[in-house]
Homo-oligomer: A and B are copies of this chain.
Amino acid sequence: MREQITERIRSEVLSQQLPVGTRVREEALAKQFGVSRAPVRDALLQLTSEGLLVAKPNCGMSVAPLPDKAIQPLVVALRKRIESFSLARLFGRFESIDLEAHAEIVGRLKEACQAADLSQVVYYDMAFHRFIIDAADDRQLVSMWLPIVSRMMLNYSRHQNWMESYEEHAAIAEAIRAGDRQLSRRLLLENIL
Contact = CB atoms under 8 A, between A and B. Distances in A.
A104 B77 CA distance: 33
Interface centre among A46, A49, A54, A75 (most CB of B within 10 A): A49
Given A143-B49, A144-B147, A89 B70 contact: yes
Contacts of A144: 51, 75, 78, 147-148, 151
Contacts of A148: 144
Number of this chain's copies in the assembly equals 2
Interface residues of A, number: 29
Interface of A: 41-42, 45-46, 49-51, 54, 67-68, 70-71, 74-75, 77-78, 81-82, 85, 89, 137, 139-141, 143-144, 147-148, 151
